């Protein structure tokens, strides 16, 4: 599925149905009088927030949405029915903006949330409405009121508790794959991540959502690289995890570049709590790690944690530090729901990156001790490297047969 986080669409509510000009003409009824019914109201334009969407790609191929007009009134005082509504389903975290892209009309942050964006036009009155003692045979029937129409922007801002920032190839996607069940694309070239990815971290009995966004480079706020528009997906985050590639020559400059881009983007990103980590420590010596930790601490003014997303070193301390900030933010703003509660909890007991790695190594060790035979039986290798028939407990079957004979 392609990812799209911004779309411009045209919406129009339905026009009201026309009233009816009718008179009752029936045998043996000399003065039937007017009986024209009113027109029905036009359909509404409704926005609905659903939990099983994560992109606005549906609005790339269809940009015009119009609700149905109301049904016209009929004789015998029949009022026209209401026109069918048009329901636009959007992901959680979608903002609705006016055509100027500045005025926020709605912010949908919970699954199941619905709002009427444009109300359908009212139906016109039939001639029965204008009947009075002085006007007993009115011949006036009104047209329905027109519906509303406008161009709007849909902008998706993902909801997450923690956001990953850093230069390209800083190890953000590797970190996400190591601590969650997400499977982002990982490669050794810049801008491997082209759209945001979400993952649910399970820390004991607690859970929180982590968002990985494309890397930033110097001048991203001016359009360099793929720009800084994706920073909107971490505006809702409670804490940022700033990953620095430890294999770079100047780690302090790498930190300053990203901080400058966050400040240039605005949105309060440079004011959010931040946890700084030196990644790829498995490729450095102990002396290099100590030296770069010191340089980075002087640049950011806080403690820097060592990390290796590939080997799993330092993951738990960083997750604990992130959750500390998230818990404090939740206590300060209890009315704001947790991201894990919005998207749903992750599956308990799901294998992590390190668990899958150990399982693969165990399978390799298992096949080093034996192999499958031609008839589907398992054949264990003996201590001298030859083949021998062993049961699941590792005992020689021939020895067991001798014991049975005794």
Q: Is residue 363 part of a domain?
A: no
Which has the closest alpha carbon to 89: 66, 67, 57, 119? 57
Domain assignment present for residue 257? The answer is: yes
- 357 or 266, greater pLDDT: 266
Pairing label, strands 197-203, 387-388: unpaired
Instruction: Give helix 315-332 / helix 172-179 axis angle, nearest 10°.
Output: 80
Same domain membership, residue 188 and residue 110: no
Buried b (16+ CB within 10 A) or exposed e, 130-165: bbeeeeeebeebbbbbbbbeeebbbbbbbbbbbbbb
The pLDDT score that the predictor gives to residue 148 is: 95
**pLDDT, tens digit, 9 for 90 and up, residues 164-213:** 999 988 889 999 999 998 888 888 777 888 888 888 898 888 889 999 98
Task: Provide the pLDDT for residue 374.
Answer: 61
Tell me, yes or no, whether 361 lies in a domain: no
**Domain termination residue (choose one: 156, 176, 197):** 156
Is the model's pLDDT at 399 over the cut of 90?
no
Q: Which residue has the tokens 């919005």?
A: 342
Mean pLDDT within 7-26: 94
Among 44-58, 267-281, 299-313, 349-363, the range scoring the smallest mean pLDDT is 349-363
Closest residue by Cα to residue 57 from 161, 156, 125, 142: 156
| 3-state SS, residue 83 | coil
Q: pLDDT at residue 401 above 50?
A: no
Task: Specify whether 284 is located in the same domain as 385.
Answer: no
User: Residues 293, 239: one domain?
Assistant: yes
Q: What percent of the chain has pLDDT above 90?
A: 44
189-196: Cβ within 8 A, 24+ apart: 190/215, 191/215, 191/225, 191/226, 192/168, 194/3, 194/226, 195/3, 195/5, 195/230, 196/3, 196/5, 196/158, 196/230, 196/233
Same domain for 118 and 266, yes or no, is no
Dihedral angle, C-alpha 296, 299, 303, 305, nearest 10 °: -30
pLDDT over threshold 50, residue 397: no
Asked whether the predicted pLDDT for residue 81 surpasses 50, the reply is yes
Considering the domain architecture, whether residues 206 and 276 belong to the same structural domain is answered as yes
- Where is the binding site for Mg(2+), in residues? 173, 193
Kindly indicate the confidence band of residue 243, based on its pLDDT and cuts at 50, 70 and 90.
very high
Do 149 and 97 sit in the same domain of this protein?
yes
Cα first-last separation, the chain = 69
pLDDT, position 364? 59
Residue 356 to residues 171, 178, 361: CA-CA distances in angstroms? Answer: 19, 10, 9
Claim to verify: residue 204 and residue 272 sit in the same structural domain = yes
What is the per-residue pLDDT across 85-104, written as a single tens digit (0 to 9) for each? 999 999 988 999 999 988 99
Q: Quick one: pLDDT at residue 369?
A: 67
Burial class (CB in 10 A: 0-12, 13-18, 19+), 235: middle
Q: Which runs of E-coded beta strand occur in 73-193?
A: 86-91, 94-97, 104-108, 114-118, 149-156, 162-165
My answer on whether 216 and 329 are in the same domain is yes
d(CA 268, CA 18): 51
CA dihedral sign of residues 2, 234, 163, 284:
positive
**Statement to judge: residues 17 and 149 lie in one domain:** yes
Domain count for the chain:
3
82 vs 388, more confident: 82
**CA–CA separation, 107 vs 89, rounded Å?**
13
Tell me the two tokens of residue 102: 């500045």
Give the Å distances, CA to CA, from 81 to 14, 24, 38, 63, 179.
Answer: 12, 21, 10, 27, 55
Q: What is the pLDDT of residue 213?
A: 87
- Establish if 364 belongs to a structural domain: no
Task: Give binding residues for GTP as ranges.
Answer: 166-173, 191-195, 212-215, 279-282, 308-310
For the ranges 53-62, 138-147, 283-292, the maximum mean pLDDT occurs at 138-147
Residue 185: C-alpha distances to residues 30, 125, 182 (Å): 82, 61, 10
Binding residues: 166-173, 191-195, 212-215, 279-282, 308-310
**Confidence at 30, pLDDT banded by 50, 70, 90:** confident
pLDDT in tens, 327-371: 998 888 876 766 666 655 444 445 556 666 667 666 656 556 676
Q: What percent of the chain has pLDDT over 70?
A: 82
Do 35 and 56 have their domain in common?
yes
Domain holding 381, by residue range, is 369-405
The per-residue pLDDT for 332 is 84
307 shares a domain with 240 = yes
Contact between 41 and 117 (Cβ < 8 Å):
no
Same domain? For 85 and 54 the reply is yes
pLDDT at 367: 57
Q: How confident is the model at residue 373 (pLDDT cuts 50, 70, 90)?
A: low
């Amino acid at each position: 599925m392609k990812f799209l986080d911004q779309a411009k669409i045209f919406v129009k509510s339905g026009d009201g149905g026309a009233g009816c000009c009718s008179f009752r003409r029936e045998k043996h009824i000399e003065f039937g009088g007017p009986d024209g019914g009113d027109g029905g109201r036009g359909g509404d334009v409704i926005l609905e927030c659903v939990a099983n969407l994560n992109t606005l790609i549906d609005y790339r191929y269809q940009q015009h949405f119009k609700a149905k007009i109301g049904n016209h009134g009929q004789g015998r005082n029949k009022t026209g029915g209401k026109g069918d509504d048009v329901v636009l389903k959007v992901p959680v975290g979608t903002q609705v903006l006016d055509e100027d892209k500045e005025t926020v009309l709605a912010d949908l942050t919970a699954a199941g949330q619905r709002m009427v964006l444009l109300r359908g036009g009212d139906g016109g009155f039939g001639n029965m409405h204008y009947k009075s003692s002085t006007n007993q045979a009115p011949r006036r029937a009104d047209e329905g009121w027109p519906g509303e129409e406008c161009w709007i922007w849909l902008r998706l801002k993902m909801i997450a508790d923690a956001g990953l920032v850093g230069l390209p190839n800083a190890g953000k996607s590797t970190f996400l794959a190591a601590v969650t069940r997400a499977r982002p694309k990982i490669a050794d070239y810049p801008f491997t991540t082209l759209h945001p990815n979400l993952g649910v971290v399970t820390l004991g009995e607690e859970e929180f959502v982590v968002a990985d966004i494309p890397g930033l480079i110097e001048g991203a706020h001016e359009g360099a690289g793929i720009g800084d528009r994706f920073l909107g997906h971490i505006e809702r985050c409670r804490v940022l995890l700033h990953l620095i590639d430890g294999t770079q020559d100047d780690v302090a400059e790498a930190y300053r570049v990203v901080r400058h881009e966050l400040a240039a983007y605005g949105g309060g990103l440079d004011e959010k709590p931040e946890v700084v980590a030196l990644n790829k420590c498995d490729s450095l010596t102990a002396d290099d790690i100590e030296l770069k930790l010191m340089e980075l601490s002087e640049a950011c003014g806080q403690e820097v944690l060592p990390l290796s997303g590939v080997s799993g070193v330092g993951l738990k301390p960083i997750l604990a530090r992130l959750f500390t900030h998230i818990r404090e933010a939740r206590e300060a703003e209890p009315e704001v729901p947790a991201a894990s509660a919005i998207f749903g909890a992750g599956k308990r007991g799901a294998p992590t990156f390190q668990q899958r790695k150990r399982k693969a190594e165990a399978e390799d060790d298992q096949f080093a001790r034996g192999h499958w035979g031609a008839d589907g039986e398992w054949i264990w290798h003996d201590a001298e490297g030859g083949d021998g028939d062993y049961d699941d407990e590792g005992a020689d079957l021939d020895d067991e047969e001798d014991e049975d004979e005794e």
